[in-house]
């Protein structure tokens, strides 16, 4: 954890990778002529992960603060969590296999940036597995009953979930800051994306 670029430590990407973001700041993205359908779809996926991550977090808080009954919680929470984790895993696979190689080829100065994002994916993948294990324990406890056991399992789950979600939010912002300006600079078509 001494690496300042570690997902849990960094507060953004280093300046030397953000030269395209200076020319294409976030406020300009929505109206840029090179913002194509693929990029819009990809940004919408990211926003979907932000929203579903927030929904899961809110549901968990509501349960722990007894605003959602144990009986209802599993049925609300489990399918949403499953959707979130499987879609996230799929999203990262597509980025690693299809998009990052294109971007690394197109902009050699940002190869280290894409390697950092690949490293994030690997870390997030491990965290997804930890969350699945912890969720299974937690949901199993809920079925068994027993207030103390449920509370402990909920606490454990909340900790690993928070680690996953906090890291993911950092990753999404950094990834967009690296990729969107590159697409706006070159265009989806010239990059070979569409």
Contact status, residue 64 vs residue 158, Cβ threshold 8 Å: yes
Taking the least distance from each CB to Fe ion, the nearer of 60 and 178 is 178
Taking the least distance from each CB to Fe ion, the nearer of 157 and 174 is 174
CA dist 150 and 144 (Å) reads 9
- Site string (95-114) toward Fe ion, x via CB under 5 A: x-------------------
Among the residues of the chain, which ranges form H helices? 19-23, 26-29, 37-64, 70-94, 100-106, 111-144, 147-186, 188-191
Nearest distance, CB of residue 38 and Fe ion, angstroms: 13
Q: Which stretch binds Fe ion (CB under 5 A): 11-19, 32-40, 96-104, 174-182?
A: 174-182
Taking the least distance from each CB to Fe ion, the nearer of 142 and 165 is 165
CA dist 73 and 142 (Å) reads 9
What is the maximum alpha-carbon separation in the chain? 60
Q: Which stretch binds Fe ion (CB under 5 A): 55-63, 76-84, 155-163, 168-176?
A: 168-176
With CB under 5 A, what is the number of residues at the site for Fe ion? 2
Nearest distance, CB of residue 61 and Fe ion, angstroms: 25
Q: Which stretch binds Fe ion (CB under 5 A): 99-107, 135-143, 169-177, 180-188?
A: 169-177
CA dist 34 and 134 (Å) reads 43
Taking the least distance from each CB to Fe ion, the nearer of 107 and 175 is 175
Q: What is the total residue count of the chain? A: 194
Nearest distance, CB of residue 44 and Fe ion, angstroms: 11
Nearest distance, CB of residue 124 and Fe ion, angstroms: 8
Taking the least distance from each CB to Fe ion, the nearer of 95 and 107 is 95
CA dist 145 and 139 (Å) reads 10
Nearest to 92 by CA among 190, 194, 167: 167
Question: Which residues of the chain form contacts with Fe ion (CB under 5 A)?
Answer: 95, 175
């Amino acid at each position: 954890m001494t690496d300042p670029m570690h997902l849990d430590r960094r507060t953004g990407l280093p300046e030397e990778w953000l030269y395209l973001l200076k020319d294409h700041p976030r406020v300009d993205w929505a109206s840029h002529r090179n913002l194509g359908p693929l990029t819009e779809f990809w940004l919408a996926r990211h926003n979907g992960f932000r929203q579903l991550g927030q929904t899961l977090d809110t549901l968990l808080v509501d349960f722990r603060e007894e605003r959602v009954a144990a009986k209802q919680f599993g049925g609300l929470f489990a399918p949403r969590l499953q959707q979130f984790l499987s879609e996230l895993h799929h999203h990262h696979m597509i980025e690693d296999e299809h998009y990052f190689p294109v971007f690394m080829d197109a902009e050699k100065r940002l190869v280290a940036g894409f390697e950092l994002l690949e490293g994030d994916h690997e870390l997030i993948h491990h965290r997804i597995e930890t969350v699945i294990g912890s969720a299974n324990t937690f949901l199993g406890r809920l079925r068994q009953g027993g207030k103390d056991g449920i509370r402990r399992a909920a606490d454990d789950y909340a900790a690993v979930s928070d680690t996953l979600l906090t890291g993911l939010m950092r990753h999404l912002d950094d990834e967009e800051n690296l990729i969107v300006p590159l697409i706006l600079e070159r265009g989806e078509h010239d990059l070979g994306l569409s």
